[in-house]
Amino acid sequence: MIEIKKLTKAFGTRKITNELDLSIKDGEFLAIIGRSGEGKSVFLKQIIGLITPDSGQVMIDGKDVTKLKDRKLEDIFKKCGYVFQFAALLDSLNVFENIGISLLEEGEAAEKVKPLVLERIRQVGLRDDVLEKQTSELSGGMKKRVGLARTLMMNPKIIIYDEPTTGLDPITVRVIHDLIKQTQKEQKATSIVISHDIEIFNYADRVAMLHEGKIIHIGPAKEIWEVENPYVHQFIRGLPEGPIKQPGVTK
């Protein structure tokens, strides 16, 4: 379980997270929604230790990760392997090297790494022959799969996806959502997904909305369309009228 308590982080005078509280259950699929620039990425970066909060706690397996220093943090990253943002692939490496990178860097022989990489490639629905390809030869959807395969090499207990479907066509969006769901079930990985795709509600267990530094709503995804909270109501329907204002705009 991830227990977030009073998490606060300001840039200048603006509190991006403001005494934010949230409990994430083991193995759940949690979707996080909220406007662009609202602080979703900054929030998740505090969970994984990339940004240090001004105050508050992020308890993972009973440890406050905001208090860990580089060395210890790295141990947690490795053990739980809980970081994933569909990070950019390295163009200078082929698919095999991208996926196997952490083991190869540790000095493991390529023959030993290959079967492990193949297993992950198959798990994310790619053909074996993709291994020899350069990343420039891959489509957007294939790149996402390769990124996921690389993360799965760490056997993560927690996987964080920061806008995994942005910029993809509707069919690929669905394929990626299926893959996230399947990964959550197979790996029993707690999956936290930031998304603007309302289709995510068909996959997630719960939905949390970030607004002005706090989680203003959290509840079952299947009930999201019945939620009366006016911010949620306006946001998921994309209504221009409502309590959420467009900054700097008169209409």
Ligand X SMILES: Nc1ncnc2c1ncn2[C@@H]1O[C@H](COP(=O)(O)OP(=O)(O)O)[C@@H](O)[C@H]1O
Interacting positions 8-27 with ligand X (CB under 6 A):
11, 16
The 8-class DSSP code of residue 94 comes to B
- Which residue lies nearest Mg ion, judged by its C-beta? 41
Q: How far is the CB of 178 from Mg ion (least distance, A)?
A: 23
In terms of CB distance, is 17 or 191 closer to ligand X?
17
In terms of CB distance, is 83 or 104 closer to ligand X?
83
The length of the chain in residues reads 251
User: Whole-angstrom Cα distance, residue 235 to residue 239?
Assistant: 7
Q: Could you tell me if residue 130 is left (phi over 0), alpha (psi between -120 and 50 degrees) or otherwise beta? A: alpha
Q: Which of 4, 17, 41, 213 binds Mg ion (CB under 5 A)?
A: 41
The CA-based angle 228-191-205, given to 5 degrees, is 35
Q: How far is the CB of 33 from Mg ion (least distance, A)?
A: 12
Instruction: Candidates 38-46, 78-86, 95-103, 109-117: pick the segment binding Mg ion (CB under 5 A).
Output: 38-46
Answer yes or no: are the C-beta atoms of 97 and 113 closer than 8 Å: no
In terms of CB distance, is 38 or 97 closer to ligand X?
38
Which residues, including other chains, have CB under 8 Å from residue 132's CB and lie 6 or more apart? 94, 95, 96
Q: Does position 97 bind ligand X by CB under 6 A?
A: no
The CA-based angle 181-115-184, given to 5 degrees, is 10
Q: How far is the CB of 194 from Mg ion (least distance, A)?
A: 6
In terms of CB distance, is 103 or 198 closer to ligand X?
198
Q: Name the residue among 51, 41, 73 with its Cα closest to residue 60.
A: 73
Interacting positions 34-63 with ligand X (CB under 6 A):
34, 36-42
Residue linked to tokens 């379980």: 1
Instruction: Report the interface residues with ligand X, using CB under 6 A.
Output: 11, 16, 34, 36-42
Task: Tell me which residues touch Mg ion (CB under 5 A).
Answer: 41
